[in-house]
Amino acid sequence: MTRTLPRSFSLACLVSLALLALPAVATAPLKPAKAAPEPVFNRLHDYQEISEMLHGYAAAFPEWVSLESIGKSGEGRDIWVVTLTNPKTGDALSKPGIYIDGNTHANEVQGGESTIYTLDFLLKNYGTLERVTELVDRLTFYFLPMVNPDGRHRWFHQPATANFPRTVVVPIDDDRDGLADEDGYDNLDGDGETTPEESNAFDDLLTLGRQQVEWKEVDHPQYGKIEVGGNRHDVGRVPEGWMLNEEVHRNSLFVLHHAYHLPRLSFGEPVVR
Amino acid sequence: MDRDLWRVHLPVLNDRGIPSVTACARENKIHRMDLATVAGAKVIACGIVNDPWLDQVDLQEHRPQRLEVGGVGGYDTEILFFLIEGKGEITVSYDSLKGGKIATTFKLEEMAP
């Protein structure tokens, strides 16, 4: 005689049996071996600051976080990757992985901030938030906050103009003098350095409007007294510093929602005949 | 079914929204399928139960010791079928690139109806 499984069988088992898939581990908040970085997301961080943060996380949580450079950029900067998983639930390579990166486009620097925020959020809420604990136990997270470190460095430390690189920075002989990258498009006097005046003059030439804006205080209806000004850097859809926290939190939860819905498998009751 | 010959139905559950192998990965052969293996007994035949009410099984043609599963859908279940020769305890392992690795051990003995 044959026996068939009732269709409702699987649904009835879902909640109870799925929880058995993971080995039981004590879940207490992580205690850093040394002081963990305390990033503040009301401003953007440049390549150097983020690199120091990543080293700080790896030193504070040496068993959980590993840091490696997967290569060098064109200008010799390390491309850092952070791996996060719970070592007690298995080796990193034995678990499903989720890869999170940011700042592929040179001028979209807030992607790197979102990536760092996600790493920080997971580490500091493990053992406190149920979903975070489950994710870190079940998955391996790979973070690559700065896919384009040279572009990030230039975004922070050079004026934003129409010639600001959006792609990976490669040496270009833009003025056809036989030398590559010895001066930028807007280095008008050819001395190798671009001053704000030169940048503004170049922007005027292209009728793009001035990128250098005087700092001034503004009374914002929601955020109160805020300062607006500096290099506009508005080409890459980057939020103002005082809006950054909301954006990185939203981006982070969007990514974690996908991580949460990665398949979680378990066996139901076998039927042997 | 006969002396030391057992028919096993084993459900694999996915209680999250993303399937363990996406249709895109299946159609374009992006990565390997999920694999189910049995340790502790000899597998004569295996497959996927496509209709438990009509007792219809899609049998795998070759290599019964390694059942290739085209993934478990989001919030869904696949029922694995094994025709097994042996006695005592067996361990079934399920290895999914996206869903991780799970295993279960049970006895080959007549179950209560």
> pLDDT of B82-109, one tens digit each?
999 998 899 999 999 999 999 999 998 8
Q: Which residues of A touch B7 (CB under 8 A)?
A: 272-273
Within a domain: A12:
no
Angle at which helices A244-260 and A130-138 pack, to 10 degrees?
A: 60
Distance from CA of B61 to the nearest CA of A (A): 22
My answer on whether A55 and A141 are in the same domain is yes
A71-126 pLDDT tens trace: 999 889 999 999 999 999 999 999 999 999 999 988 888 999 999 999 999 999 99
* pLDDT averages per 10-residue partition of chain B, 113 residues: 84 96 94 96 95 92 94 96 92 95 90 66
Residue of B nearest to A8 (CA): B77
My answer on whether A197 and A213 are in the same domain is yes
Q: Given CB atoms, is B72 within the 8 Å cutoff of chain A? A: yes
Q: Which residues pair with A218 in a beta bridge?
A: A226
Is A136 a residue whose pLDDT tops 50? yes
My answer on whether A166 and A134 are in the same domain is no
Residue of A nearest to B9 (CA): A271
My answer on whether A116 and A223 are in the same domain is no
My answer on whether A231 and A247 are in the same domain is no
Instruction: Name which of A17, A94, A269 is nearest B101 (Cβ-Cβ).
Output: A94
Is A198 a residue whose pLDDT tops 70? yes
My answer on whether A228 and A117 are in the same domain is no
My answer on whether A255 and A132 are in the same domain is yes
Q: Give the residue numbers spanning the domain of A185.
A: 159-240
Task: Tell me the percentage of chain A whose pLDDT exceeds 70.
Answer: 75
Within a domain: A133:
yes
My answer on whether A128 and A181 are in the same domain is no
H or E stretch covering A226: strand A224-231
Q: Given CB atoms, is A15 within the 8 Å cutoff of chain B? A: yes
A220-257 pLDDT tens trace: 777 788 887 766 655 556 777 777 888 899 999 999 99
Within a domain: A5:
no
pLDDT of residue B52: 86
Where would I find the H helices in A19-129?
Answer: 47-60, 110-125
Size of interface A-B (CB pairs under 8 A): 117
My answer on whether A132 and A67 are in the same domain is yes
Residue of B nearest to A14 (CA): B15
Are A74 and A169 contacting, i.e. CB atoms less than 8 angstroms apart? yes
Is A202 a residue whose pLDDT tops 70? no
Q: What string of H, E and C letters represents the secondary structure of chain B?
A: CECCEEEEEEEEEECCCCCCCCHHHHHHCCCCCEEEEEECCEEEEEEEEEECCCCEEEECCCCCCEEEECCCCCCEEEEEEEEEECCEEEEEEEEECCCEEEEEEEEECCCCC
Q: What CATH number corresponds to the domain at position A115?
A: 3.40.630.10
Q: Given CB atoms, is A6 within the 8 Å cutoff of chain B? A: yes
Residue with tokens 């209560």: B112
My answer on whether A236 and A246 are in the same domain is no
My answer on whether A190 and A136 are in the same domain is no
Q: Which residues of B touch A4 (CB under 8 A)?
A: 52-55
- Domains of chain B by range and CATH? 5-107 (2.60.40)
Is A2 a residue whose pLDDT tops 70? no
My answer on whether A120 and A207 are in the same domain is no
Within a domain: A187:
yes
Tell me the residues of chain A between 66 and 95 that have a Cβ less than 8 Å away from chain B.
94-95
Q: Given CB atoms, is B88 within the 8 Å cutoff of chain A? A: no
Q: Given CB atoms, is B20 within the 8 Å cutoff of chain A? A: yes
pLDDT of residue A211: 60
Number of domains in chain A: 2
Q: What number is the average pLDDT over the span A40-63?
A: 94
Within a domain: A2:
no
Within a domain: A92:
yes
Within a domain: A11:
no
- Any idea what DSSP says for residue A111? H
Q: Which residues pair with B105 in a beta bridge?
A: B91
Q: Is A264–B99 a contact, with Cβ atoms under 8 angstroms apart?
A: yes
Are A169 and A75 contacting, i.e. CB atoms less than 8 angstroms apart? yes
Within a domain: A128:
yes
pLDDT of residue A16: 43
